Structure 1
């Protein structure tokens, strides 16, 4: 259980806004699950459903305005539908003898997409944005869904089923789950209602979404009256900060009990992702745990450090960054002619004499502009790689291991086996049981487990994980180190294990950066004694600096061979 004395106020301005998954990306992910579960081509009914609901939220239906609320929009409906589809996949994997049938799956997706359509205003309604329907939207959603599905010739039985599922998402009243015709319908209704809860709490842009939700509440308060709502035992938030700071209690006192009421259908996400982890709950933990949003040591861009140290002015930094982007673009376009074989000494001589050409690193550009002296740049680089506030906290053994890892990293060249050893040493230094290096594939919105040290190495290496969920995804998207421990949530969803039986008790992850670009995440799992803490996060951040320096050299070596 959460202890109030351990909670810290959540900053209102963190984390920074990230790019959402596009609607089409989420639709394609649902299609992929459909093909896996039911085979063949996508059902025309499903394709029409997505097209029509997309048009509905865009204001292309004659009866409704385009969606104007910031939270209960198309993005949220698709997120709920995707979570529902993933739970279905997990259920079918576990209960192959009684899988969710195609018609019930389609009904669940329809309910997910339409459950918050009641926030849409009627055509030509100029009052507010739709938040005024916060306490009445479920009834409006059921009515809209029933009318629409009737025109598309869905069966009366399915329409009743979908309407009842939408009713189960009403947060204002205890859901009546006895209305469902059979066990299969009950399972799907529980999945949809669970998906509605966790999609909100696991949102990658949780802080921004909470702002949007608060704006909707304010509009509803104005319509309903704060005193009237209090008389109806509705909690009225006096400010956004109150909503933000009470999020952990809201999760513990409302979200978890309702998930238990729905028989923890969300646990089927573990079997769907097939690695013993529930990435939605990792994201939820990262979102609501105040210590993860604290101002502990984090990686900083060199320009920010130089500016903070008073070594470069803001306007000079802006100009240098612009030159950096121009240089990167020019280097990408320019062809790299093959070079004749040279001895090592000659290659190094060419490199030393080539100063001032093809400079794309910020420090080089600033020196070229005479904006900083080499000595000042050295100070900035050392502050980036070895932050002064950390050096005094390191023990002798920690310093020795860091030195050993730094020396070993110099022997990487083009053979990755050394890197696996570095990761193994990092795991040992932090007292972990296993760990991974994950590298991003941006075009596919995923990270690949490139190296894993610990149990199930062969099963895990090469596996893709989504960047929109899970602690690693949270760290990648927010560029901040974070850790989660099972006891911080008191959540049964943590009681799962990796393939082969490795129980997950705690996870620590930090981002990897090269020249200002986030390229992946380093992760350590399960501290053998005690729990991960901020000092562990600082050390792994420091090790990430060493690893990315080595990876940067490897990148240059690989490019030079082309």
Structure 2
């Protein structure tokens, strides 16, 4: 992995994951090599509509205003998913392969897995920022896919797509998701894996957790959770506190999710890179850097300033105002004393 990796490039420093056209072209190359002769037109349209949705040009929607779950995050994840699909197809026997149609469905699901954060101009006019949907954004994404896929001529994919998108969140118990074809479950594992490894391998993951994910957690009711009347439970006191708890989260939740729930699907990346896994290596580098910061207390080492890729220009200021309002609303209430479990919705 290059030491000179740019902030908005993938783990190989070859694809600009803030650029929809660059990611689309990279996915097209992988898809064409994996499924020779298969059409790419519906995927091309999906990338086009994804960009319109996140930049505020899709009819009826406001555009992306969540600073952590932004356009770059989804594109980074979708590229990781396309690589996982390509590696999987190379690794299994023909009867177990996904095939072009199922792979297409998985990639489109990935593109819109965070559509639930995007506010609708009419239905969501009482909300100020997409982070307010944090605790149920995946269900909203599933609803979006139910509406969108038929418009793309893929009504037959609605049932599976609207279920496997839940592998990116915590709203459903993954063990309760039942699908007729085991290859659809594999797609869920690949999507869930891509979502985790792409964001944790981001060059600016630590800065983004402190400066962007924490405010989303405050607005979304994750950092501070209502308890009994007049009481609240504090899960994360600040962006730094979130980072202090990230190593434990990685050990307790991430490894169990990646290795157990998703059956170590991240290994399929290694087929494309001679047995190496640039995503897992980047995650290890990030975690080692974080542990060093926590041990030394030298927070000045977190000095990267990644760009924002949003569809609403006032989003950064809007979420800051919401955080201030949320904190002010706690005055007069008291901590419950309970310790809520670690959680990091993604």
TM-score band w.r.t. shorter chain: 0.7 to 0.9
1:118 alignment counterpart: 116
Q: Secondary structure at the match of 2:196?
A: helix
Partners in 2 of 1:120 and 1:35 — Cα distance?
31
1:278-318 deviations in whole A, cap 9, x for unaligned? Answer: 110111011112356588xxxxxxxxxxxxxxxxxxxxxxx
1:442-485 deviations in whole A, cap 9, x for unaligned? Answer: xxxxxxxxxxxxxxxxxxxxxxxxxxxxxxxxxxxxxxxxxxxx
1:201 is displaced (CA, Å) by 0.9
Partners in 2 of 1:228 and 1:88 — Cα distance?
42
Partners in 1 of 2:5 and 2:262 — Cα distance?
33
Partners in 2 of 1:265 and 1:235 — Cα distance?
34
1:235 is displaced (CA, Å) by 7.0
Q: Secondary structure at the match of 1:226?
A: strand
Please give the TM-score of this superposition, normalised by the length of structure 2. 0.73
1:337-373 deviations in whole A, cap 9, x for unaligned? Answer: xxxxxxxxxxxxxxxxxxxxxxxxxxxxxxxxxxxxx
1:80 alignment counterpart: 77
1:18 alignment counterpart: 7
Partners in 1 of 2:221 and 2:269 — Cα distance?
36
* C-alpha contact 2:5 2:203 (8 A) present in aligned 1: no
Q: How does 1:382-531 map to 2 (within 5 A)?
A: none
RMSD between aligned residues: 2.8
1:108 alignment counterpart: 106
Partners in 2 of 1:234 and 1:267 — Cα distance?
38
1:153 is displaced (CA, Å) by 2.0
Structure 2 CA distance for partners of 1:141 and 1:19, relative to 1, 3 Å: closer
* C-alpha contact 2:28 2:40 (8 A) present in aligned 1: no
Structure 2 CA distance for partners of 1:227 and 1:195, relative to 1, 3 Å: same
1:195 alignment counterpart: 194
Please give the TM-score of this superposition, normalised by the length of structure 1. 0.46
Which protein has the bigger strand share?
1
1:266 alignment counterpart: 266
1:213 alignment counterpart: 213
* C-alpha contact 1:65 1:122 (8 A) present in aligned 2: yes
Partners in 1 of 2:177 and 2:250 — Cα distance?
25
1:178 is displaced (CA, Å) by 4.3
Runs ≥4 residues deviating over 4 A: 291-295
2:43 alignment counterpart: 46
2:147 alignment counterpart: 147
2:137 alignment counterpart: 137
1:213 is displaced (CA, Å) by 1.2
Q: Secondary structure at the match of 1:204?
A: coil
User: Runs of 5+ in structure 2 lacking a partner?
Assistant: 10-15, 297-346
User: Runs of 5+ in structure 1 lacking a partner?
Assistant: 1-14, 296-562
* C-alpha contact 1:31 1:42 (8 A) present in aligned 2: no
1:224-251 deviations in whole A, cap 9, x for unaligned? Answer: 9622499xx9972111111111111111
Partners in 2 of 1:31 and 1:39 — Cα distance?
11
Partners in 1 of 2:45 and 2:286 — Cα distance?
35
Structure 2 CA distance for partners of 1:291 and 1:132, relative to 1, 3 Å: closer
Specify which of 28, 46, 53 is matched with residue 31 of structure 1: 28
* C-alpha contact 2:163 2:177 (8 A) present in aligned 1: no
* C-alpha contact 1:229 1:235 (8 A) present in aligned 2: no
Partners in 1 of 2:102 and 2:92 — Cα distance?
15
2:242 alignment counterpart: 243
Residue 99 (1) aligns with residue 97 (2): yes
Q: How does 1:358-397 map to 2 (within 5 A)?
A: none
Partners in 2 of 1:193 and 1:28 — Cα distance?
22
* C-alpha contact 2:115 2:140 (8 A) present in aligned 1: yes
1:112-148 deviations in whole A, cap 9, x for unaligned? Answer: 1111110111216374321111001011111111101
Structure 2 CA distance for partners of 1:17 and 1:270, relative to 1, 3 Å: closer
Partners in 2 of 1:59 and 1:81 — Cα distance?
20
Partners in 2 of 1:263 and 1:84 — Cα distance?
15
Larger RCO, structures 1/2 (Cα 8 Å, 6+ apart): 2
* C-alpha contact 2:115 2:141 (8 A) present in aligned 1: yes
* C-alpha contact 1:168 1:176 (8 A) present in aligned 2: no
1:487-529 deviations in whole A, cap 9, x for unaligned? Answer: xxxxxxxxxxxxxxxxxxxxxxxxxxxxxxxxxxxxxxxxxxx
1:58 alignment counterpart: 55
1:19 is displaced (CA, Å) by 3.7
Q: Secondary structure at the match of 1:136?
A: helix
Question: Which stretch of the first structure deviates more once superposed, 237-246 or 178-187?
Answer: 178-187
